[in-house]
Amino acid sequence: METPNEIKKTVKEKYAEIAVQSKGSGCCGPTSCCGDSPADVDYSIFQDDYTNEKGYEPDADLGLGCGIPTHYAGINEGDTVVDLGSGAGNDVFVARSIVGGNGKVIGLDMTEEMIDKANRNNDKLGFKNVEFVLGDIEKMPVESDLADVVLSNCVLNLVPDKSKAFSEIYRILKKGGHFCVSDIVIHGSMSEELRKSAELYAGCVSGAIDQEEYIDVIKEAGFTNVEIKTSKKIELPDDLLRKYLSPEAIHEYRNNLKGVFSITVVGFKN
């Protein structure tokens, strides 16, 4: 089993590759074949369509999300918003369109290449109240009681210590603040072979935990009024499973795993 540091290294390397290329067809695409590079993956199998969202910036959309958390985040004009695992800035720029000039949006990411890409996008847009910060979600370089809203889109799933991540979210939120997270969970059990697939891990699948356990982690961090706003079953293409799993593991996956789901969940800090 990979250590937490090894998992983070795997994720950083994969997302660094993704940061320096454009979206394209890949292993998660329904009709595509798989490339040799870890970046040759179309993670948009998970993602909802952002193109009609106010503030949408195509260059910031790498197809890596699994929902649209800004729809359910209750962001208000003037709010301070922190987006965890902000990538090239997709959700940051959508949130910026809501908070307006009097608010602030901070994007946090642990991959230097993503921070660089996000800053280039922001330089082009010219927003003075948008900031991208390099840092680890398990130990954020963000002051306590700062944010009105915390967002994350298909990223917390990749964090080895989810309890630490949600405790940090609780710390940086103001009293009365809340989070809205889109993420991947499972119903049922997942084979060890599937969990060990680094390609699937960076695609959010093999890092998934059971939905009930996920909600328990959130509540144990101190959040109240926790509610799942959306839930969508994700069908993994056979081509993807055959590339990374043995026939026996695919059989186990089909029989033991009741489903992989994209959920959007909210919770409040009293």
Whether 176 shows a pLDDT value over 80: the answer reads yes
The torsion angles phi and psi of 19, rounded to 5 degrees, stand at -65, -30
Q: What is the pLDDT of residue 246?
A: 78
- β-bridge partners, 179: 150, 267
Residues present in the chain in total? 270
Count of H-run helices and E-run strands, the chain: 9, 7
Query: Which of these, 50, 45, 18, lies nearest to 29 by C-alpha position?
Result: 45
- β-bridge partners, 267: 179
Residue 74's identity, in one-letter code, is G
Question: In this predicted model, what pLDDT tens digit does every residue of 105-153 receive, in sequence order?
Answer: 999 999 999 999 999 999 999 999 999 999 999 999 999 999 999 999 9
pLDDT averaged over the chain?
84
Q: Are 105 and 95 in contact (CB under 8 A)?
A: yes
Q: CA-CA distance, 143 to 251, in Å (whole number)?
A: 47
To the question of domain 4-268 being in CATH 3.20.20.70, the answer is no
Residue 121's identity, in one-letter code, is N
Question: In this predicted model, what pLDDT tens digit does every residue of 22-52 receive, in sequence order?
Answer: 543 333 333 332 333 433 444 455 678 899 9
| CB neighbour list of residue 176: distance below 8 Å, 6 or more residues apart | 268, 269, 270
Q: Are 178 and 74 in contact (CB under 8 A)?
A: yes
pTM for this one?
0.84
